[in-house]
Structure 1
Amino acid sequence: MAATTPTTTSVCRALWLAATLVAIVWHQWVDGCIQAIWDVLRASTVVRHDTFEPTVAVTAFLVSFTFWKALDCWLPAGLTKRWRIGESDDMSTWHLSKWWTRLLQEPVWYFAPIAIFDIMYPRRNLPEKAPSIEKLAIDILAPLFIYDFMFFFIHVTCHKVRFLYRNIHAKHHSEKIMRAGETIRLSFFEQWADVSCSIIAVNVARCHPLSRALYNGIIVYLLTELHSGYDMPWMLQNVVPFGLWAGSRRHYVHHRDGRFYYQKFFCYLDDFFGFGEDARASIRTGKEN
């Protein structure tokens, strides 16, 4: 596995803590900044259009994939190899050109149906008041939690029911090397289920439109990070204490051995249902077949 330094991780945690303290102590000033930003965004034709949220998601995918591609292919290997997980520094079986083509095609398949529907049925109504910093944080964490909860059970089912794994989910596990491009190596059902869980999550959480836009960008980045094959000190799996965040290390193990780690972001369901660290430890010591 990749190595992270305690000092770097501590610095990252300190920065997160400092940002949290600023938000708490100067919350009125922060809320005022958020309101000013929302006033500008709300006056924009692009933001007022129904397709703004999927546009944010598509743009986030393009930016995220370009970021990981830069680490994979454009920077000297010596700068990034120390953070690569397992065998993910061996790119001999990973076809970059194929996935870059797929990446350019993906927005068309994802965006076109939504754009057509939005043009036919405009329904976006933007409130004048922006969310407070507390509301913004809750509006991002709550749908992440709900999405992760729903997709866990779909994911487990796709692994445990052999017919579903063979015909739906096996495609996602077909490459040995983990790269961000694996995020979109999905069957149609998986794409539909993934997007549906996310849409349901933001609606159940009753998120503000600004929160929804930020959530779309954040979850896209987190999904690409999950499949990136990197373990960097500033990633949430290292910054969030007590092992509460899953992250790329656990997901790498999941892709290598599909018996463990079905949650994408959090860990509590894996641990509760016996797919977490205890299960791996018992298999390593020969207590299970």
Structure 2
Amino acid sequence: MLPTIANSMFRPYLHVFENTSVADYLPEYSLLQPFWDYLRVHHQDTLRSPLFPVIISVSGYFFFSTLFMVLDLLAPKLPLLDKYRIHPEKPVSWSDISKTLGLTIYQNLVYIFPVSVAQWYWRPPTQLPAAAPNLSELLCGVVGCTLLFDFQYYIWHVVHHKIQWLYTTFHAIHHEYYVTFSWVAQYLSAWELFTLGFWTTVNPLILQCHCLTTWAFMVFNVWISVEDHSGYDFPWSMHNLIPFQLWGGSIKHAMHHQKPLTNFAPFFGHMDWIFGTGTDLKHSPAVQEKKIKGKDL
């Protein structure tokens, strides 16, 4: 008797859930839709080109690195700026810039350009869906791709430090600089450069991201890579804004270049915490001073 009564009472509600899905409760209209519509209407040919991801990645790298390069050149003359460098005692010289920038240009011409042309020739144009991703979908996609990239590079990084032949052959060039600056981000062997590019390209496919999310991840990935190597520790840097050392940032990677068998994860802090490969971090004099004053209050 009771099961019969319960069945009759709850059947209307069960009927609702049987004929709906979670997607029905998500907002149908994306805040990004007007922006996406504008891009599709006015820049469709550019966006569909297989060269577009390469263009935004390479141009983004040169743009972000140049911004920090300008700061590096101004820092010795501006004490208020210089004290935000993690190692103000080691100014960035023109010879450092020319050497790292020269290798970057060489690798882009010799390796990236031919691969990009081949991709443009063989790969079909990118399909542009009519609907834009929701803002939450875009943000989750970027974070997901970054987490996956962080995991992949942690493993690659540990292996290439632990196996001497791999380190000497493929990774040692990146550690020529004890103190990092922006152009060191891609001061890499061709093998490492291709590996990083492969994960950046494949991860959005693995997570089935919208193409707009993919491009956002690529630009974000370039930015955090450059910021990681910038050698600057500003109060508004991500590692100072995100609590509990969840984000490593420039201070974490700067310490990796001083203690190469520590801090293997490129961005987040959880992998080094889990496997015990983290170490103490050094802030810039300005941020360290603020932290000391904060404790005294």
Q: Shorter-chain TM-score: what band?
A: 0.7 to 0.9
Change (3 A) 1:124 1:92: closer
The answer as to whether partners of 1:88 and 1:178 remain within 8 angstroms in 2 is no
Q: Kindly indicate whether residue 46 of structure 2 is the aligned counterpart of residue 68 of structure 1.
A: no
Q: Distance in 2 between matches of 1:174 and 1:88?
A: 18
SS in 1 for 2:62: helix
Structure 2: which 5+ runs fail to align? Answer: 1-25, 281-297
* Deviation readout 1:148-190 (Å, 9 max, x if unpaired): 1011000000001111111111111012221111111111111
SS in 1 for 2:244: helix
Q: 1:233: how far off?
A: 1.2
Aligned to 1:192: 194
Letter in 2 for 1:205: L
Alignment of 1:136-155 (within 5 A): 136-155=138-157
Structure index of larger Rg: 2
Higher RCO, Cα 8 Å, sep 6+:
1
Change (3 A) 1:189 1:107: closer
Alignment of 1:205-284 (within 5 A): 205-277=207-279
Letter in 1 for 2:154: F
* Deviation readout 1:175-231 (Å, 9 max, x if unpaired): 222111111111111111111122221111111111111111111010011011111
The answer as to whether partners of 1:262 and 1:275 remain within 8 angstroms in 2 is yes
Normalising to structure 1: TM-score of the pair?
0.81
Q: Distance in 1 between matches of 2:29 and 2:85?
A: 37
Q: 1:116: how far off?
A: 2.5
Q: Distance in 1 between matches of 2:142 and 2:95?
A: 33
Q: Distance in 1 between matches of 2:108 and 2:220?
A: 17
The answer as to whether partners of 1:147 and 1:197 remain within 8 angstroms in 2 is yes
SS in 2 for 1:102: helix
SS in 1 for 2:81: helix
Letter in 2 for 1:100: L
Q: Distance in 2 between matches of 1:30 and 1:177?
A: 47
Aligned to 1:39: 37
Aligned to 1:95: 96
* Deviation readout 1:54-97 (Å, 9 max, x if unpaired): 11101111111111111111464324211101356433595222
Letter in 1 for 2:30: D
The answer as to whether partners of 2:107 and 2:190 remain within 8 angstroms in 1 is no
Q: Distance in 2 between matches of 1:55 and 1:142?
A: 23
Identity of aligned residues (%): 27
Change (3 A) 1:157 1:132: same
Q: Distance in 2 between matches of 1:236 and 1:167?
A: 33
How many residues are matched? 253
Aligned to 1:21: none
Q: Distance in 2 between matches of 1:232 and 1:271?
A: 23
Q: Distance in 2 between matches of 1:115 and 1:140?
A: 27
Change (3 A) 1:88 1:155: farther
Q: 1:135: how far off?
A: 0.4
Letter in 1 for 2:50: D
> How large is the Cα RMSD of the aligned pairs?
2.4
Q: Kindly indicate whether residue 39 of structure 2 is the aligned counterpart of residue 53 of structure 1.
A: no
Aligned to 1:3: none
Structure 1: which 5+ runs fail to align? Answer: 1-26, 279-289
